[in-house]
Structure 1
Amino acid sequence: MSRTDVLDREVGRALSALSAAAKKGLGDAALAELVVIRASQLNHCAFCLDMHLRIAREHGVDERQLDLLAAWEEAEGVFDERERAALALTEAVTVLTAGSVPDDVYATAAKYFDENRLAHLVGLIVAINNWNRVMVARRIPPGGYRP
């Protein structure tokens, strides 16, 4: 069995359904792409970065935001407070170095997202982390994404 055979079609469909539902419920395609790109940066998933950078551009995400996403905390004026709250939550859920998401990070996100959108944001972060781990484990190189 090769590494590219690790993902069962049923599992792939389930992950795709989770991703689609989370993005739809979040209701902001550009923000969704910023979130999945940031998680993919943290997880070193080249396939997902390649894919979602293309999608982000299709959704009109500002090139300056894409260029500075890895340093969003220092990029004053490039990301609004809502985006910054989503990115902070993305990092907290993705890295989990403290063993949990800090209360202040979650509370800040809750200021900008109602309960439903916050649940979808967390779902999106969970979904991309799953995809990142699958693609990194399988060693899927960038360039294979076909819309």
Structure 2
Amino acid sequence: MSARTTQLDAGVRNALSAFSAAAKKGLGDAVLAELVMIRASQINACAFCLDMHVDAAVDKNGESAKRIALLNAWREAGELYSERERAALALTEAVTVLTDGFVPDEVYESAAKHFSEAELAHLIGVIAVINSWNRLMVSRRIEPGGPAW
């Protein structure tokens, strides 16, 4: 598979970057935001975003390599992830994979128990924007460390 040269419009890039910054700021938990972005990127097989967000989680936010390595199996990882993190990860998976229709009520309600209404809106924003980035990078086959624009 070779990289495609389709350039990303500056307006699109700037809008998504602003959306991402606002969603993360409103969520107020940089580590959780990175975990969510990594999990969605795992599901979407976006190597570019995985590379970027694993580095950000570990290097900028002090996340452990163990929690990153086990993120794909977070349900089976016991207490390694908090209840709040597990609720966010379940919501991430439900929003990322909408093949069965809507986000299940129990997944949304579980997240709503751990996040204020504003935090939940920002969490969904983080999930939505990383899915957009994933689709832009995967569709253009941008490799880790490759030029994204």
Same fold judged by TM-score > 0.5? yes
Q: Which amino acid aligns with 2:76?
A: E
Match of 2:123 in 1: 121
Are residues 145 and 32 of structure 1, via their aligned partners in 2, closer, same or farther at CA, if it must alter by over 3 Å?
farther
Q: Shift in Å at residue 120 of structure 1?
A: 0.1
Are residues 40 and 20 of structure 1, via their aligned partners in 2, closer, same or farther at CA, if it must alter by over 3 Å?
same
Q: Using the alignment, how far apart are the partners of 2:119 and 2:5 within structure 1?
A: 34
Match of 2:34 in 1: 33
Q: Using the alignment, how far apart are the partners of 1:145 and 1:128 within structure 2?
A: 17
Superposition pairs of residues 1-147 of structure 1, within 5 angstroms: 3-57=4-58, 58-144=60-146
Q: TM-score, normalised by structure 2?
A: 0.93
Q: Using the alignment, how far apart are the partners of 2:34 and 2:98 within structure 1?
A: 21
Alignment: residue pair count: 145
Deviation per residue, 1:6-62 (Å, 9 max, x gap): 420000000101110000000000000000000000000000000000000120112
Farther-moved stretch of structure 1 (58-67 vs 83-92): 58-67
Q: Tell me, which stretches of 5 or more residues in structure 2 are unaligned?
A: none
Mapped contact 1:51–1:145 kept (Cα < 8 A): no
Q: Shift in Å at residue 145 of structure 1?
A: 7.3
Q: Tell me, which stretches of 5 or more residues in structure 1 are unaligned?
A: none
Identity of aligned residues (%): 65
Farther-moved stretch of structure 1 (28-37 vs 5-14): 5-14
Mapped contact 1:64–1:78 kept (Cα < 8 A): no
Q: Using the alignment, how far apart are the partners of 2:16 and 2:68 within structure 1?
A: 25
